[in-house]
């Protein structure tokens, strides 16, 4: 059964409680920071909506009718609960403004997020910041579950139930040991080689699979971290599929070489994701930092 419309008039019920406590519409109006005519108008409107007389007004003050006394008794718990709700929501809002929980996929967490957070820390030195690292799927799950206020992902596809904003781009690189020999392959030849991929749910893996058409990869091995992939590729264990940001050092040191596949696009967008229409103020500031860097 739906609630009647007048049940939402909690301010008027709260005002009625004050009249019962003070014995005067004027004193009740002062408590609520409104004028006496305004208070009288609200109470008269409440009487009309309830369809019963609530007050008997005289020169000596305002007395509750029997119906008014009953409404006051029933309203007390409702008003107490409403105050508890208001206090609780304000506490949540204050807590939300004082802390920021971030989840980021591996590439963002290792190579970009520290600088973004450092910029935020300069303007909010007392801010409580926590960060967790997961693959892109795990980041989306954390945001969806309310465990993170903001997430950063590398996956080209964003779930429909999350809001998102592009904050940059990244490139997936194919690397192998210098002993590999060839540095240019066709797509068909690449797919027949031993490939070292991140685990399912990773944005890097998703980007690569999308680029090659989501075809079967009979010689692919799933590994749980970029570091493991690079170490395996250096040892000659296959072609590593990782963010180009992770390969600059090993390539410069001569430990790895980058392979090229003409026609294969491995550029991917980086997105900030959050639950709801707009991010919190702190999350929006961190997004702005990520775009500015």
* pLDDT tens, residue by residue, 73-91: 888 888 888 777 776 665 5
Residues 6 or more apart whose Cβ sits within 8 Å of residue 65 = 52, 53, 54, 55, 56
58: left (phi over 0), alpha (psi -120 to 50) or beta: beta
Query: What is the predicted pLDDT for the residue at 98?
Result: 62
Phi and psi at 164, nearest 5°, equal -150, 155
Residue range 169-268, CATH number: 3.40.190.10
In angstroms, the Cα distances linking 81 to 46, 178, 200, 286 are 20, 70, 47, 36
List beta partners, residue 257.
176
Going by CATH, does the domain composed of 98-167+269-292 fall within 3.40.50.720? no
Summarised one tens digit per residue, pLDDT across range 269-287 is 999 999 999 998 899 999 9
Q: Same fold for the domain at 5-96 and the one at 169-268? A: no
Q: Nearest Cα to 20, choosing from 84, 87, 79?
A: 79
3-state SS, residue 47 = helix
Under CATH, which number does the domain 5-96 receive? 1.10.10.10
CB 143 within 8 A of CB 273: yes
Delimit the domains of the chain by residue range.
5-96, 98-167+269-292, 169-268
Residues of the chain with pLDDT under 70: 1-8, 87-98, 292-293
* pLDDT, tens digit, 9 for 90 and up, residues 102-145: 999 998 999 999 999 999 988 888 888 899 999 999 999 999 99
d(CA 243, CA 293) in angstroms, rounded, equals 18
């Amino acid at each position: 059964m739906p609630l009647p419309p007048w049940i939402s008039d909690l301010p008027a019920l709260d005002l009625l409680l004050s009249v019962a406590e003070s014995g005067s519409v004027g004193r009740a109006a002062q408590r609520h920071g409104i004028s006496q005519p305004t208070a009288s108008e609200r109470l008269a409107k409440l009487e009309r909506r309830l369809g019963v007389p609530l007050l008997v007004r005289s020169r000596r003050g305002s007395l509750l009718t029997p119906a008014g006394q009953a409404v006051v008794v029933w309203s007390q718990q409702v008003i107490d609960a409403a105050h508890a709700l208001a206090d609780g929501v304000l506490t949540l809002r204050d807590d939300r403004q004082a802390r920021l929980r971030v989840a980021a996929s591996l590439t963002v967490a290792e190579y970009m997020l520290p600088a973004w957070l450092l910029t935020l820390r300069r303007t909010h030195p007392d801010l409580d910041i926590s960060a967790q690292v997961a693959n892109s799927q795990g980041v989306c799950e954390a945001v969806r579950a309310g465990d993170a206020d903001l997430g950063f992902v590398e996956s080209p596809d964003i779930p429909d139930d999350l809001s998102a904003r592009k904050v940059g781009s990244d490139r997936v690189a194919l690397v192998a040991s210098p002993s590999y020999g060839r540095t240019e392959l066709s797509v068909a030849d690449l797919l027949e080689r031993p490939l070292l991929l991140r685990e399912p749910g990773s944005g890097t893996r998703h980007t690569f699979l999308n680029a090659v058409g989501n075809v079967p990869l009979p010689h692919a091995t799933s590994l749980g971290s970029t570091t493991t992939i690079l170490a395996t590729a250096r040892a000659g264990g296959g072609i590593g599929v990782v963010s180009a940001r992770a390969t600059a050092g090993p390539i410069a040191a001569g430990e790895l070489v980058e392979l090229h596949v003409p026609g294969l696009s491995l550029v991917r967008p980086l997105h900030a994701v959050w639950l709801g229409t707009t991010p919190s103020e702190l999350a929006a500031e961190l997004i702005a930092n990520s775009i500015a860097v």
